[in-house]
A and B are shown apart, each in its own frame.
Chain A
Amino acid sequence: MEILTAENVSKEFSNHKALDAFSISIPQQSIFGLLGPNGAGKTTFIRIINQILNPDTGKIFLNGERLRPKHIASIGYLPEERGLYKKMKVGEQALYLAQLKGITKKDATEKLKDWFRKFDILPWWNRKVEELSKGMQQKIQFVVTVLHNPKLLIFDEPFSGFDPINVNILKDEILKLREEGATIIFSTHNMSSVEELCDNIVLIDNAKKILEGRVDDLKMEFKSDVYELILKGSGTRLKGILPDAYEMISVQAINGLKEVRVKLPAGSSPNELLQTLIPEFEIHSFHEILPSMNDIFIEQVNKNKTKYKAG
């Protein structure tokens, strides 16, 4: 079941295409990574979902219904460029933003107090925002985003401005939100957190979708048959034994053992490699190296760039 579907969404700003026939579908109760270099069109897409912008063409469906103003209440959005009224009191401000999302004042007060207690910011309720540290302000923004229990949450670079401890608290909260049934669109340049959190991703470059899929599937798809071996013996001897078709990528010494990365020739199986080595070496470990999301990101964007230039 998809919570959000986009069909051929395009948006143009004075002769510059921000989104070009962009289509995706986001499965319910998943964490969906929206990736891409700066200026690729991610923010435009996010703003279209939030109905801040209207697409020129194309359709967006939320839970099978055409996106309409009433859906604002079921979306929570934490923008990349975010701030608060500096002169306003913390509690007052959080209440105001919550009420704008359509929660009653009474409900909002109760829920806010719970969240503030959880994040250790309750004592700041009556202080002005300008007296707070940046991290605390970020916590308040996070709370305000999730307060109305939205079915769809959109986080644009949610971890910027947080220290590592708070990043972990936040990650836990995000995972908890998914367990409780929310779907999360997660836009970031931090690829390690993508690997950690995301179930699916879409990669946008130059207003177009260039890659899409489950994180695990993509890693399998883009693996380049590199295996890592830990063995006893010398590297030069290994080189002598291995047929030329095998490419040795790196050799590192670890505690008297060697950690070697080998790329298999096309069409050969890892078993063949093991059969060659077992008679000669004592093997401690053998496993496949999958590409990181970071590698995939860079490779795909660069590939797209050359294609774009050539085309």
Chain B
Amino acid sequence: MGKTSLIIQREYLSRVKKKSFIIMSILGPLLMAAMMIVPIYVATLESDEEKNIEILDETGWFYNKFKDKDKLKFTYTFTDLETAKQEFFEKEIHALLYIPKTELSLPTTATLYSDKQVNIQVKDYLENIMETVVENKKLEASGIDPQVLKSAEVNFRLSTMTIEEDGEEKKSFTEVSMVLGIFAGIMIYFFIFLFGAQVMRGVIEEKTSRIVEIIVSSVRPFQLMMGKIVGIALVGLTQFLIWIVFTLIIVTGFTTAFSDKLPAETAEKFSAGNQLMQVEQLQQNAPSQDEITKVFEAIFSVNYNVMIFSFIIYFLGGYLLYAALFAAIGSAVDNETDTQQFMLPITIPMIFAIIMAQFVINNPESSMSFWLSIIPLTSPIIMMVRIPFGVPYWELGLSIGLLILGFLATTWLAGKIYRTGILMYGTKVNYKTLWKWIRLRD
């Protein structure tokens, strides 16, 4: 045991002391913080500006239907399109909405001219109004009074609650669950690839520098492999910890420094961080104070004990499962370019899992989602996507159990390939040779 910890120590220290590690530790949080701060900062800059939109309506249906809203001002013009376009730069307008005349049918198309990108909210607002106007006309034509229809419309709000076994009720919020789940899944995906590849490169380095035979005359090959895998896992955890702590420091620092200059609403968004922002974008409507509190409620409604516990389990379990395979590949080749042919069995389930994550978000209870979150090769990513939607404990238990078995199996398999592979120089290796190595007796 002492020797394995010596190996872990060396693997850890030699990487943490590297320049690239230190640079990544500083750049990572800066980038993450920038990703959170910049969009909000840009948004606040934009909202200060008033936007004038000119309407050129050849149908005459939409006159005075566009109501000024927040920072949007509407003016109407009655020239032809050419003149309006020419006058575009003389007048101080941001966009020109042109609704062409239609002969028989109802107007269903329009063009928005502008010198800059028009943001999504403005576009949505315009489309919304035009749709309502045309719909009302259609209703009138079929003899239905839009007012009557409106009064018949029921606004039914379904609020979903999950019941915990202890009888506690919690509001569930799909959007927040989606973001949290996907975020956790992607983190695990990157962790496995980033640090799994480091394991592989480490093994190749030992092989090409020919130190490996010196080391395996003192320790068992399995100890060397596990020492490397665990050492690099610790490097990864250290890196993530640094990132999280620094990002929080930068973001809170930024928020406190600028909170007085920002509108209260935006400042609040800061403190909730990136996830909150995305949630708001998902909720099409303009955010109001009320909705923000709801989102907060949602974020706190997720069962964090389960979430954090399973994140750590799947984060480490997934890494360990794949890292052993990465080590086996490293041991079978003489240089990094030869690794390509063996990477496929690793990359395919991982990429498949990331692609399927989209499907799982929409159908967290489907049998496909169930199996993907049980099979160890995909479960680290898929289960994390499912957990925020609520997963029965027996499924979680089964999945974790199988993940541990899967990890033991890949490690056993990798260990067999590894102990033969590290001592083979200059042999061309294919899947058939790997199979022979696995079947070799001790």
A201 and B216 alpha carbons, distance in the complex (Å): 26
Is A82 within 8 A of B213, CB to CB? yes
Query: A-facing mask of B194-211, CB < 8 A → 1, else 0?
Result: 000000000001100111
- B6, B14, B210, B211 — which one has the most chain A CB atoms within 10 A of its CB? B211
In the complex, residue of chain A having the shortest beta-carbon distance to the beta carbon of B210: A83
Is B217 within 8 A of A79, CB to CB? yes
Q: Which of A14, A79, A100 contacts B436 (CB 8 A)?
A: A14
Give the segment of A47-55, A267-275, A288-296 that binds chain B.
Answer: A47-55
Hey, which chain A residues are within 8 Å of B257, CB to CB? none
Known A13-B440, A87-B14; contact A100-B213, beta-carbon cutoff 8 A:
no
Known A54-B442, A88-B14, A100-B3; contact A79-B214, beta-carbon cutoff 8 A:
yes
Q: Is A101 at the interface (CB under 8 A from chain B)?
A: yes
A206 and B205 alpha carbons, distance in the complex (Å): 32
How many of chain A's residues touch chain B, expressed as a range?
Answer: 20 to 34
Q: Is A218 at the interface (CB under 8 A from chain B)?
A: no
Is B214 within 8 A of A144, CB to CB? yes
A43 and B218 alpha carbons, distance in the complex (Å): 17
Is B214 within 8 A of A52, CB to CB? no
A101 and B218 alpha carbons, distance in the complex (Å): 6
In the complex, residue of chain B having the shortest beta-carbon distance to the beta carbon of A145: B214
18 cross-chain CB contacts under 8 A: A14-B440, A52-B216, A52-B221, A72-B217, A72-B218, A77-B217, A79-B217, A81-B210, A81-B425, A83-B210, A85-B205, A87-B14, A96-B6, A96-B10, A97-B214, A99-B6, A141-B214, A144-B214
Is B423 within 8 A of A52, CB to CB? yes
Hey, which chain B residues are within 8 Å of A141, CB to CB? 214
CB distance from A143 to the nearest CB of B (A): 12
Is A52 within 8 A of B10, CB to CB? no
Query: A-facing mask of B28-50, CB < 8 A → 1, else 0?
Result: 00000000000000000000000
Q: Is B157 at the interface (CB under 8 A from chain A)?
A: no
CB distance from A145 to the nearest CB of B (A): 8
Is B423 within 8 A of A100, CB to CB? no
Q: Which of A13, A75, A87, A96 contacts B217 (CB 8 A)?
A: A75
Q: Give A43-63 interface residues, CB cut-off 8 Å to B.
A: 47, 50, 52, 54, 56
Residues of chain B at interface, number, CB under 8 A: 25
- B10, B214, B217 — which one has the most chain A CB atoms within 10 A of its CB? B217
Hey, which chain B residues are within 8 Å of A47, CB to CB? 423
Hey, which chain B residues are within 8 Å of A170, CB to CB? none
Interface set of B (CB-CB < 8 Å, partner A): 3, 6-7, 10, 14, 205-206, 209-211, 213-221, 423, 425, 436, 440-442
Q: Which of B209, B217, B440, B441 contacts A52 (CB 8 A)?
A: B217
A100 and B219 alpha carbons, distance in the complex (Å): 7
Q: Is A86 at the interface (CB under 8 A from chain B)?
A: yes
Query: B-facing mask of A65-106, CB < 8 A → 1, else 0?
Result: 000010010010111011111111000000011011110000
In the complex, residue of chain A having the shortest beta-carbon distance to the beta carbon of B422: A52
A144 and B211 alpha carbons, distance in the complex (Å): 12
Is A100 within 8 A of B211, CB to CB? no
Hey, which chain B residues are within 8 Å of A84, CB to CB? 209, 211
A50 and B7 alpha carbons, distance in the complex (Å): 19
Hey, which chain A residues are within 8 Å of B213, CB to CB? 52, 77, 79, 81-82
Hey, which chain B residues are within 8 Å of A86, CB to CB? 209
A81 and B424 alpha carbons, distance in the complex (Å): 11
CB distance from B347 to the nearest CB of A (A): 28
Hey, which chain A residues are within 8 Å of B436, CB to CB? 14
Is B209 within 8 A of A85, CB to CB? yes
Hey, which chain A residues are within 8 Å of B6, CB to CB? 96, 99-100
Is B423 within 8 A of A82, CB to CB? no
A161 and B285 alpha carbons, distance in the complex (Å): 75
A154 and B216 alpha carbons, distance in the complex (Å): 14
Q: Give 19 A-B pairs besides A79-B213, A99-B6, A141-B214 with Cβ atoms closer than 8 angstroms.
A: A50-B216, A52-B217, A52-B221, A54-B441, A56-B441, A72-B218, A79-B217, A81-B210, A82-B213, A83-B211, A85-B205, A85-B206, A85-B209, A88-B14, A97-B214, A100-B3, A100-B6, A101-B218, A102-B3
A87 and B15 alpha carbons, distance in the complex (Å): 11
Hey, which chain A residues are within 8 Å of B221, CB to CB? 52
Is B209 within 8 A of A100, CB to CB? no
Hey, which chain B residues are within 8 Å of A85, CB to CB? 14, 205-206, 209, 211
A198 and B294 alpha carbons, distance in the complex (Å): 86
CB distance from B326 to the nearest CB of A (A): 19
CB distance from A264 to the nearest CB of B (A): 49
Is B3 within 8 A of A82, CB to CB? no
A52 and B213 alpha carbons, distance in the complex (Å): 8
CB distance from B280 to the nearest CB of A (A): 47
Hey, which chain A residues are within 8 Å of B442, CB to CB? 54
A101 and B3 alpha carbons, distance in the complex (Å): 9
Hey, which chain B residues are within 8 Å of A99, CB to CB? 6
Hey, which chain B residues are within 8 Å of A69, CB to CB? 220
Q: 9 smallest A-B Cβ distances: which pairs? A: A83-B210, A100-B218, A79-B213, A83-B209, A77-B217, A50-B217, A81-B210, A54-B442, A14-B436
A88 and B209 alpha carbons, distance in the complex (Å): 12
Q: Give A3-23 interface residues, CB cut-off 8 Å to B.
A: 13-14
Q: Give A250-269 interface residues, CB cut-off 8 Å to B.
A: none
CB distance from B173 to the nearest CB of A (A): 49
In the complex, residue of chain B having the shortest beta-carbon distance to the beta carbon of A54: B442
Hey, which chain B residues are within 8 Å of A88, CB to CB? 14
Is A82 within 8 A of B440, CB to CB? no
Is B214 within 8 A of A77, CB to CB? yes
A265 and B103 alpha carbons, distance in the complex (Å): 127
A163 and B419 alpha carbons, distance in the complex (Å): 34
A97 and B213 alpha carbons, distance in the complex (Å): 12
A86 and B3 alpha carbons, distance in the complex (Å): 21
Hey, which chain A residues are within 8 Å of B217, CB to CB? 50, 52, 72, 75, 77, 79
Hey, which chain B residues are within 8 Å of A101, CB to CB? 218
A81 and B211 alpha carbons, distance in the complex (Å): 8
CB distance from B64 to the nearest CB of A (A): 74
In the complex, residue of chain B having the shortest beta-carbon distance to the beta carbon of A154: B217
In the complex, residue of chain B having the shortest beta-carbon distance to the beta carbon of A13: B440
Hey, which chain A residues are within 8 Å of B205, CB to CB? 85
Hey, which chain A residues are within 8 Å of B215, CB to CB? 97, 100
In the complex, residue of chain B having the shortest beta-carbon distance to the beta carbon of A88: B14
Known A88-B14, A100-B3; contact A82-B218, beta-carbon cutoff 8 A:
no
A86 and B211 alpha carbons, distance in the complex (Å): 10
Hey, which chain B residues are within 8 Å of A75, CB to CB? 217
Query: B-facing mask of A120-149, CB < 8 A → 1, else 0?
Result: 000000000000000000000100100000
